[in-house]
Amino acid sequence: MGLWIDYGIEDDSTKLAIPTWVWAGLLIVSLAMRVAARLKFPQEKSPLRRTYFGPWYGLYLDDYVLILAVLLALIAMGLILWACELGFGKRTAELMLLNDPDLPYGGGPAVVEMTMLLFFWMQILYNKVMMLTKVSVLLQFIRTFGSAVTKRFRYVCWLMIIIVVGFYTTSVFVVIFTCSPIKSAWIGQCNAQINTTLIWIIRGWVNTGTDAIIVLMPVVNHIMSSRNAGRDRTKKTPLRENIVKYVLIAAGIGVCAVALTRTLMIPKDGFEKDPMWLAIDWCILSVTEDSLCVVTVCLLSLKCAVLQLAPWIIGYSPLSSRRNSDEEILENPGRASSLMWKCQGLCEEKDPYPQLAEDFDGKF
């Protein structure tokens, strides 16, 4: 039975409609938290950050790109819910036999064609959501990784942006302008001029590959930066920052796992036989992948807020972090004293080691 209308036939639309409602709420909450974190905890200015990244009204370019992605995702979710109200999650053969004026479009071929039209536009919107989300992450990498050590890293980010935008834009135009996708691919009113299944498979593998590359990029950059820093123990990352990074990397790996599962679920013969019935589980993973990706990106902007709350969350104290072990304090008592004055907020008033305090400015 459907969530809104009972067609009197087997209906699996609820499996897709309920997760869509849940993810829509999470998207709104995550985006609101990101915007609030940006406005409440503004990041420090860096001379390497370009003016065209912002901020404008407290938000950066990557924030505005992500806001656009969330808006498109919510529109796509609205189309999903509309399609579920019509024929999605139902067998096409059973819908074609219906002829009831009380049903949407009177049932029959009209409701099937309208459902597949919504499905088509939903796929286009979700492709744009994937593209914009990846671009937002890469723009944030370019903006935040501002040291000279990561100059080549920023070039790689720009190259990835060109590849992502070019591929997703091309794939959409191929489907739209090659033929009439609805009538040829699913309704069968004309000969298909494109292999829809092949496009889905290629798009799925490219999407999974770019997700994996984006997740690995900051890890590789961190390893290279650590090598360039040598054995300077003062450049080690605090424990609390490492925990935040590990959580974000784990979330990124989860996105890659969902993307890979969604790609492997595409049958070899595609969904042409009955897309409204066969693609229901695949669409659940599509909604999950895009939404989880957006939520993970929103978590990136919460890093500053989480680090400031870290003493209450993970019991962090400056002298208990990995960087400030007992051995280091014994080896350099002057540095420990400077850190203690810094944590107590007394550096400006009385700091016996002002140069050391300046070196660690902004680290806490």
> Rounded mean pLDDT of 200-218?
87
DSSP character for 182?
A: I
The verdict on 295 and 331 lying in the same domain is no
The lowest-confidence range among 130-144, 180-194, 235-249, 312-326 is 312-326
The verdict on 131 and 217 lying in the same domain is yes
Residue 285 lies in a domain: yes
- Domain, as residue range, for 80: 13-313
The verdict on 174 and 143 lying in the same domain is yes
Check residue 73 and give its pLDDT: 93
The verdict on 124 and 250 lying in the same domain is yes
**Token pair for 176:** 């739209």
Name the domain count of the chain: 2
Q: What are phi and psi of 90, to 5 degrees?
A: -125, 160
Mean pLDDT score across all residues of the chain: 73
Torsion of CA 168, 172, 174, 180, to 10 degrees: 170
The verdict on 235 and 347 lying in the same domain is no
> Rounded mean pLDDT of 29-48?
71
Check residue 330 and give its pLDDT: 39
The verdict on 279 and 336 lying in the same domain is no
The verdict on 276 and 342 lying in the same domain is no
Query: Measured between alpha carbons, how far apart are the two ends of the chain, in Å?
Result: 55
Residue 3 lies in a domain: no
* Residue 332, number of CB atoms within 10 A of its CB: 16
Strand partners for 90: 11
DSSP character for 234?
A: G
Strand partners for 56: 59
The lowest-confidence range among 123-127, 185-189, 256-260 is 185-189
Check residue 229 and give its pLDDT: 56
The verdict on 144 and 291 lying in the same domain is yes
Check residue 341 and give its pLDDT: 42
| Cα 220–Cα 68–Cα 200 angle in degrees, nearest 5 | 70
Check residue 24 and give its pLDDT: 94
Instruction: Specify the higher pLDDT residue, 236 or 245.
Output: 245
Q: Given pLDDT bands bounded at 50, 70 and 90, which one contains residue 6?
A: confident
| Cα 243–Cα 146–Cα 45 angle in degrees, nearest 5 | 90
**CB of 347 closer than 8 Å to CB of 341:** yes
The verdict on 292 and 354 lying in the same domain is no
The verdict on 253 and 343 lying in the same domain is no
> Rounded mean pLDDT of 212-226?
78
Q: Given pLDDT bands bounded at 50, 70 and 90, which one contains residue 281?
A: confident
Q: What whole-number distance in Å separates Cα of residue 322 and Cα of residue 331?
A: 15
pLDDT tens readout for residues 292-333: 888 888 877 776 655 555 554 444 444 444 444 433 433 444
Residue 2 lies in a domain: no
Q: What Cα–Cα distance (Å) separates residue 314 from each residue in 172, 237, 293, 309?
A: 45, 16, 25, 9
**CB of 80 closer than 8 Å to CB of 122:** yes
The whole-model pTM stands at 0.74
The three-class DSSP label of residue 106 is helix
Check residue 78 and give its pLDDT: 93
pLDDT tens readout for residues 50-102: 555 666 777 888 889 999 999 999 999 999 999 888 888 888 888 888 777 77
**Token pair for 78:** 């609205």
Residue 114 lies in a domain: yes
Check residue 133 and give its pLDDT: 92
Q: Is the pLDDT of residue 23 over 90?
A: yes
Strand partners for 22: none
Residue 233 lies in a domain: yes
Check residue 253 and give its pLDDT: 86
Check residue 129 and give its pLDDT: 92
The three-class DSSP label of residue 59 is strand
Closest by Cα among 182, 200, 192, 28 to 109: 182
Instruction: Specify the higher pLDDT residue, 85 or 230.
Output: 85
Check residue 20 and give its pLDDT: 93
Q: Is the pLDDT of residue 109 over 70?
A: yes
**CB of 86 closer than 8 Å to CB of 118:** yes
Domain harbouring 232, CATH code:
1.20.1070
The verdict on 299 and 330 lying in the same domain is no
Strand partners for 11: 90
Q: What whole-number distance in Å separates Cα of residue 105 and Cα of residue 107?
A: 5
Q: Is the pLDDT of residue 124 over 80?
A: yes
Check residue 255 and give its pLDDT: 85
The verdict on 120 and 225 lying in the same domain is yes
pLDDT tens readout for residues 11-22: 888 888 999 999
Residue 291 lies in a domain: yes
For 262-298, the DSSP string reads: HHHTS-TTTT-S-HHHHTHHHHHHHHHHHHHHHHHHH
